Amino acid sequence: MSFDELYKAAKAVVKPNKLSDYAEAGGVGAAIYTEGGKVYTGVCIDTACSMGFCAEHAAAAAMITAGESRVIKMIAVGWDGHIMPPCGRCREFISQIHKDNLETEVMVKEGVVKTIRELLPFDWRE
């Protein structure tokens, strides 16, 4: 699976939507490619009281629901099509759900791919 294909999958779910006066969703889409050869997508949900979650979390939840946890590649895309690096919470979350996810490749901006390990240089587990 190429990052171009993964980008298209993430971009396809980006559909900004105002859910209520206090919540909106879909401004960021993420796609995760797994060891099992599947792609899982998700969107962010933003709330006024910060109880929402990132698109990467939504995609990971779909992956875990399907019985997988090993992420090979991942990408997040904003509403305007730009590639976004995962926040610290997402980096840590992905690193903890499978022992090999520190080697997950993440496109952090166009043409730049880093591993989760590179994005978490001072891992508390080491």
Condensed to tens digits (0 to 9), the pLDDT of residues 35-53 reads 999 999 999 999 999 899 9
CB 80 within 8 A of CB 61: no
Determine whether domain 3-119 maps to CATH 3.90.600.10. no
pLDDT band with cut points at 50, 70 and 90 for residue 126: confident
End-to-end CA distance of the chain: 31
CB 72 within 8 A of CB 105: yes
Amino acid at 16: P
Look at 14 and 124; give whichever has higher pLDDT: 14
Predicted confidence (pLDDT) at residue 6 exceeds the cutoff of 90: yes
What tens digit of pLDDT does each residue of 64-118 get?
Answer: 999 999 999 999 999 999 999 999 999 999 999 999 999 999 999 999 999 999 9
CB 70 within 8 A of CB 101: yes
pLDDT at 31: 98
Sequence length of the chain is 126
* CA dist., res. 63 & res. 22, Å (int): 28
pLDDT at 50: 86
Amino acid at 96: Q
Radius of gyration of the chain (CA): 14
